Amino acid sequence: MSDTVLVTGGAGYIGSHACKALSRAGYVPVTLDNLSTGWRDAVKFGPLVEADLLDRAALDRAFAEYQPMAVMHFAALSQVGEAMAEPGKYWRNNVSGSLNLIESAIAAGCGNFVFSSTCATYGDRDGEVLNEDTAQAPLNAYGASKRAIEDMLVDFSASHRLRHVIFRYFNVAGADPDAEVGEFHQPETHLIPLILDAVDGKRAALTIHGTDYPTPDGTCIRDYVHVADLVDAHIRGLEWLREDKGDRVFCLGTGEGFSVREVVDATRHVTNRPVPMHDGPRRGGDAVKLVCGSKRARDELGWSPSRSSMQQMIGDAWRWHQNGSYAR
């Protein structure tokens, strides 16, 4: 079996960390990315194929050239606000793009597939801890597109034995502990990098999106997981497929929820600097509380997040934030 893995979205935040982890684990990560939200500079651990998921011929050429033993599929548009405003963009890019990728993989005889899904597929579940058996009811086209791709994988697995692992991530945070790669989105929409921008004056202030939610301090609650722990689970997922253990969904989070205000307080503590901020209205499409039950990943993959304390995630993000950025 080849040791090459095709990493779609390998020029993005999570995909670039996955490429580093794959390379360390002895695999050759081949990034396939259209650089729409990713960065050429972030591709450091293997070759880059600059291509779009919507270009089926380019996908076929990449499979023929590299003959990967597996696909790790990170490439997607993933901003909730944008998905509310432009749902068609999400259905086209994420769903049509994934359909092309799956069909190209099957045509090339590549039968192992690891997919980035999200807790945004659940919608509002009234405070319950979410796990693999929780019913999905997405609130926006982003979550809906991810759920559709999950369904697609199940159908293709039944017809073509496309072995797959689906990871539903909660909120991914932090950066490579060596700061070789990190989170750099333009525009940035994620909470922790935006707080850090406010801390070091790159933006005037953080806006808190909604302070009247039914939570103890009125702000939304999320479960944050360190990107290094997340990609460690992906290596375990790949081994799971190599051992032919069957199709499986795993939720990845820590089980601990933090409100927006709690994340701000932790950032103030870690950076030892004030966080300029003001209260704003709710952002459309946000769930009140998303907290993960990750027992299955721990029991079956032997996954144990080791860097996912809030302090560690903010500390690693802060180190990267002060020294790292990319140019296209």
Ligand X SMILES: O=c1ccn([C@@H]2O[C@H](COP(=O)(O)OP(=O)(O)O[C@H]3O[C@H](CO)[C@@H](O)[C@H](O)[C@H]3O)[C@@H](O)[C@H]2O)c(=O)[nH]1
Ligand Y SMILES: NC(=O)c1ccc[n+]([C@@H]2O[C@H](COP(=O)([O-])OP(=O)(O)OC[C@H]3O[C@@H](n4cnc5c(N)ncnc54)[C@H](O)[C@@H]3O)[C@@H](O)[C@H]2O)c1
Binding region for ligand X (CB under 6 A): 78, 80, 118-120, 170-171, 189-191, 194, 206-209, 220, 222, 260, 283, 286, 290
Q: Which is nearer to ligand Y, 36 or 279 (CB)?
A: 36
Residues identified as active-site: 142
Size of the site for ligand Y (CB under 6 A): 29
Which residue in 4, 104, 112, 118 binds ligand Y (CB under 6 A)? 118
- Alpha helices, DSSP H, located in the chain: 13-24, 56-66, 80-85, 87-90, 97-107, 141-160, 191-199, 227-242, 260-271, 295-301, 310-323
Nearer to ligand X, 156 or 258 (CB): 258
CA 293 to chain CA mean position, Å: 17
Which residues are 166's β-sheet partners?
Answer: 115, 249
CA atoms within 13 A on the CB side of 313: 28
Q: Which does 84 bind (CB under 5 to 8 A by kind): ligand X, ligand Y, none?
A: none
Output the smallest distance, CB 173 to ligand X, in A: 8
Per-residue x/- mask for ligand Y, residues 29 to 58, rule CB under 6 A?
----xxxxxx-------------xxx----
**Cα–Cα distance, 118 to 289 (Å, whole number):** 14
202 phi and psi angles, rounded to 5 deg: -75, -20
Min separation Cβ 35 and ligand Y, Å: 5
d(CA 171, CA 9): 17
Among 93, 131, 215, 294, binds ligand Y (CB under 6 A): 93
Looking at residues 150 to 169 of the shown chain, list those that interact with ligand Y (rule: CB under 6 A).
169
Task: Supply the DSSP string of 16-34, one letter for each residue.
Answer: HHHHHHHHHTT-EEEEEE-
CA–CA dist 12, 14 (Å, integer): 6
The reply on whether position 251 binds ligand Y by CB under 6 A is no
What is the rounded distance in angstroms from the CA atom of residue 142 to the CA atom of residue 188?
17
Partner from ligand X, ligand Y, none binding residue 15, C-beta < 5-8 Å depending on class = ligand Y
- When binding is defined by CB under 6 A, the residue of 6, 7, 15, 174 that contacts ligand Y is 15
Residues that bind ligand Y in the complex, under the rule CB under 6 A: 8-9, 11-15, 33-38, 52-54, 74-78, 93, 97, 116, 118, 169, 171-172, 185
